[in-house]
Amino acid sequence: MKKIKFLAFLLVGFVTVSFAQQKAVKTVVIKTPTVQCESCKKRIENYMSHEEGIQKVNVDFKKKTTTVTYLSDRTNPENIKALIANVGYDADDVTAEPDAYKRLPTCCKKPEDGGGGEKKN
């Protein structure tokens, strides 16, 4: 009888610990106003897909947003914005890293910088 109680106690303990260790999956939508084309989309998605805690990345260059699904115990929205900036693109209030921006192809730069982005009338 003592063995059964002990095993039941262990089982409850393992279940409790496993629920406590479950990873909280969250999604954030970040404005990426400098994303211009399919090339920008691929560049961000490829770079971010290798980062720890990032589960899914979807860049919509027409809406100029990036949707990221991530594990909240491994990263957070501020880190995600910094990653996007490190690729060379603005992310909400975080400005693109200048050296990364310089390395972008011309088509991925802002029109005012001589890029092939959308022209304003």
Characterize the bridge pairing of strands 65-71 and 25-31: antiparallel
Looking at residue 90, which CATH number applies to its domain? Answer: 3.30.70.100
Other beta carbons within 10 angstroms of residue 101's beta carbon come to 20
11 within domain boundaries: no
**Please, which residues have CB within 8 angstroms of residue 81's CB and are 6 or more apart in sequence?**
30, 91, 92, 93, 94
pLDDT of residue 107: 87
In tens, the pLDDT along 25-83 reads 999 999 999 999 999 999 999 999 889 999 999 999 999 999 999 999 999 999 999 99
Q: How many domains is the chain partitioned into structurally?
A: 1
88 within domain boundaries: yes
101 within domain boundaries: yes
Taking 90 as the threshold, does the pLDDT of residue 99 lie above it?
yes
15 within domain boundaries: no
> DSSP character for 42?
H
61 within domain boundaries: yes
Global pTM?
0.75
Residue 17's pLDDT band (boundaries 50, 70, 90)? low
50 within domain boundaries: yes
Alpha helices in the chain (DSSP H): 2-20, 38-48, 77-87, 98-103
17 within domain boundaries: no
Taking 90 as the threshold, does the pLDDT of residue 88 lie above it?
yes
Q: Which domain holds residue 43?
A: 22-111
